[in-house]
Structure 1
Amino acid sequence: MTETDFLLKMTARGLKLKAQRMRGLTVEKKKGPMDLKEVLDVLEQLAPLSLAESWDNVGLLVEPIKCRPIKTILLTNDLTDSVMSEAEAMNCDLIISYHPPLFRPIKCLVSKDWKQRLVIRAIAAGIAVFSPHTSWDSVKGGVNDWLVGGVGSGKVSVLSQALSSAPQSHKLEFTARSQEELNTIMAELKGMNSGVNLQHKAVSSETDGFFISLICPDSALTPSVQTLLKHAAPSQSLSILQVKKRPLPGYGQGRLSVLDEPVTVAAAVQQMKSHLGLNHLRLALGAQQTLESTVNTVAVCAGSGGSVLNGVKADLYITGEMSHHEVLDSVAAGASVILSDHSNSERGFLAVFKKRLAVHLSNSVTVALSRADRDPLEVV
């Protein structure tokens, strides 16, 4: 499903659900058991994996050998030994781990490596493991929208815009001296790129023959250029332009909020403690700032936000972790910084997603939040 199809589908679905709520109706849920593919389809609808960053490792990471109905789903921020024991004890069928337990390629499966041991245990127990990670960060209404909402309502925009996942394409512009030459070139291009749709537009000129603009996918670029270079007029006039991918408004990494009602730094700290369910946060006051300084703009990035927040103009940064020098740079630029530790900036979204997921699943599927999942760091 393309992003365009997804957006249209979700918009239509949203309007339908809104109309149902206005009429006092409930959303019709699937009856009976659901298999793994059906649940994966729901997860894809809620947050397309194409929204994830290119470096990420998302999707179905462990698939059971024998398919079985999905009756119990466990949501966790991190898959650890204690979380896996919890999943085994509850006869879990699917673990949705926000962070991918498998990230780098592996050459073997041995129990002495704790992450590989988790995979072995999942396979032995017949438990599927799925990770959404940055697709949840990027999606509208996802982790970052939830995080920025902790300070209050405001006009929210995306810091790092997500782009369409459509294949990269190129525009080839060239000239042909006559209709005959143009026909010959196009026939050769279609022959070289059998099965590939090459869109072109030709504009005739009384003096220069024909000016052609042709769109081709990345896979067809090399053979198309090689074909054009065989002809005199195209070889002398050829220019190659990379077509920019279409932005997806509201989707992407990080958020910036212009608050409807400004707050003090002290108030923002208290509101984020409540929002994240924490007793302690770390605060670095921006240059010339105090606890009573006014916060009009807030920039957030769940997890490790240094690279996304770098250079963003805001009164306050909120993220899980930043390096020492990233904090110093932010403070020198006048921005105060709130750090919660990495997973504490993400974990609270699981409860939001639990409710969202349950609406789309069969009544026979139970969605549970892990009780064993916690940030490895604590204040002592």
Structure 2
Amino acid sequence: MYLELALFKSPAHPPEVLAVSLLELTSSMFTRSTNISRRFFRLSCSPSRFNVISNTALKRKPHFLRAASATFNHSSCLYSVLHSSICHPFCTPPFVLSSRPYSHPPSSMDLKTVLEVLEQLAPLSLAESWDNVGLLVEPSKQRPVKTILLTNDLTADVMDEAEGMTCDLIISYHPPLFRPFKRLIQKDWKQQLAIRAIESGVAVFSPHTSWDSVKGGLNDWLIEGVGSGQVLVLSQALCSAHKKHRLEFTARNEEELNNIVKDMRKTENSETFQYNILRTEQEAQHVILNCPSSELTSAVQAISGNATASQTLTITQVQQPPLLGCGQGRHAVLDEPISIAVALQRMKKHLGLPHLRLALGNQKTLDSVVKSVAVCAGSGASVLQGVKADLYITGEMSHHEVLDAVSKGTSVILSEHSNSERGFLTVFKERLSAHLPDSVTVIISQKDKDPLQVM
């Protein structure tokens, strides 16, 4: 069995740092270590020592390396394991076990592989339930992805740009296809874009609110423009694992319970039922059962066959655990309070804009102190509503939403909708490029812009 690590340079910690850390293991753990190149190391080890070595790599701090992979082969069988954290998708796992040997980076990538990278950077499960994210247009003829165009909005001008560079994939932050179509015709401009993408063989992908929610994503980038501070999520994201229900009921004796359990085991997924038994003095057995929501009907049917159990049955949905650092909007208590005027200038620089709209809070001036800030990219009124902060920063709010904030003493900075988002494309370009081979070019659209201009 061998374990092969692909290490990438870091200014502070070169690849040799991790290699030396692994070699700190006793020599009995592996038969030899080969430095294939300055970046790739192969360790040959026994099956019993594989987990010890891989766990040692996992314990290395994330900044020791940008990305890495490992493969192992035993008895002609390939195994694959993925180690990652949805709470920290922008912190690449210390290493990834894969069924594909990475002795050198791939020369090209297919669409499926690129989509897997995008999912790793910002899981689509973090998107809001109302959103339309993911792959929106898929070419009928697959071809290697060589050119990716990043844009905030897919417009006719951006499509011209994409076709001119023979683009293979457009990543449009806002989904160009949002509401269902009953027909594809030339009358509607969004349908025209979909038709052009199909005819040109260009795939279209939209991340939208998954970028907003993910830790280290768009909203974290937006609030960084004001200054450092203690940042909290305004609308916490929850784990996307399958929802579960808890069923509680009472069986008169052990025989009745065994019959109920027997009926449950007749289902195809009987192993998904987990239950605990609490015995009472009268030999009655109070049961607490957990099951996936998809199996709820089967469980209730099995319980309903018993009169005592069905009469005592209660059902509650199990709350999913929060994904720390993920969710919509951000709130920060600044390390160093600043004036509204300073906050305004910082956001102009951060967003790359010469002008911003400002509504001063009641009894506030440009010299008023800002200790806390709440942000939400795009149209953030619904997320910011009711949040206590000295300053709101978002793309757009309605006239009356601004008045509500101002009346409570909160000042508001508006940049126009997409101007609060577009600057993140530069950040994401670097993150995406780090996960792609040199043969794939990532380009930020030059035609993309907010439709509203301050003249």
**Which of the residues 118, 121, 146 maps onto 1:46?**
121
CA 1:372–1:8: 2 relative to 1, 3 Å: closer
Please tell me the residue identity of whatever aligns with 1:254: G
Please tell me the residue identity of whatever aligns with 1:290: T
2:89/2:214 contact within 8 Å kept: no
Please name the residue that 2:380 is paired with: 305
2:223/2:332 contact within 8 Å kept: yes
- Confirm whether residue 91 of structure 1 aligns to residue 166 of structure 2: yes
CA-CA distance at 1:4 after TM superposition? 9.2
Please name the residue that 2:10 is paired with: none
Please tell me the residue identity of whatever aligns with 2:329: G
CA 1:28–1:314: 2 relative to 1, 3 Å: farther
Please tell me the residue identity of whatever aligns with 2:420: S
CA 1:268–1:9: 2 relative to 1, 3 Å: closer
Please tell me the residue identity of whatever aligns with 2:251: A
Aligned-partner SS, 1:31: coil
After superposition, where does 1:93-242 map in structure 2 within 5 Å? 93-192=168-267, 194=269, 197-242=272-317
Gaps of 5+ in 1: 18-26
- Confirm whether residue 243 of structure 1 aligns to residue 243 of structure 2: no
Please tell me the residue identity of whatever aligns with 2:118: L
Query: How many angstroms apart in 2 are the aligned matches of 1:4 and 1:200?
Result: 29
CA-CA distance at 1:6 after TM superposition? 3.4
Query: How many angstroms apart in 1 are the aligned matches of 2:104 and 2:136?
Result: 27
Aligned-partner SS, 1:371: coil
Please tell me the residue identity of whatever aligns with 2:304: L
CA 1:129–1:11: 2 relative to 1, 3 Å: closer
4+ long deviations beyond 4 Å: 8-12, 14-17, 192-196
- Confirm whether residue 366 of structure 1 aligns to residue 441 of structure 2: yes
Deviations 1:250-302 (A, max 9, x none): 00000001111111001000000000011111111111111101001000000
TM-score computed with the length of structure 1 as normaliser:
0.93
CA 1:249–1:291: 2 relative to 1, 3 Å: same
Please name the residue that 1:267 is paired with: 342
Query: How many angstroms apart in 2 are the aligned matches of 1:11 and 1:368?
Result: 20
Please tell me the residue identity of whatever aligns with 2:222: L
Please tell me the residue identity of whatever aligns with 2:85: F
Query: How many angstroms apart in 2 are the aligned matches of 1:359 and 1:332?
Result: 46
- Confirm whether residue 67 of structure 1 aligns to residue 142 of structure 2: yes
Query: How many angstroms apart in 1 are the aligned matches of 2:179 and 2:388?
Result: 34
Asked which structure has the greater RCO (Cα within 8 Å, sep 6+), the reply is 1
RMSD (Å) for aligned C-alpha atoms: 2.0
1:192/1:224 contact within 8 Å kept: no
CA 1:102–1:195: 2 relative to 1, 3 Å: farther
Deviations 1:206-234 (A, max 9, x none): 22521110012222223322332331221
Please name the residue that 1:349 is paired with: 424
TM-score computed with the length of structure 2 as normaliser:
0.78
Query: How many angstroms apart in 2 are the aligned matches of 1:8 and 1:149?
Result: 19
Please name the residue that 2:85 is paired with: 6
Query: How many angstroms apart in 1 are the aligned matches of 2:104 and 2:171?
Result: 21
CA-CA distance at 1:239 after TM superposition? 1.2
The structure with the largest helix share of the pair is 1
Query: How many angstroms apart in 2 are the aligned matches of 1:291 and 1:96?
Result: 39
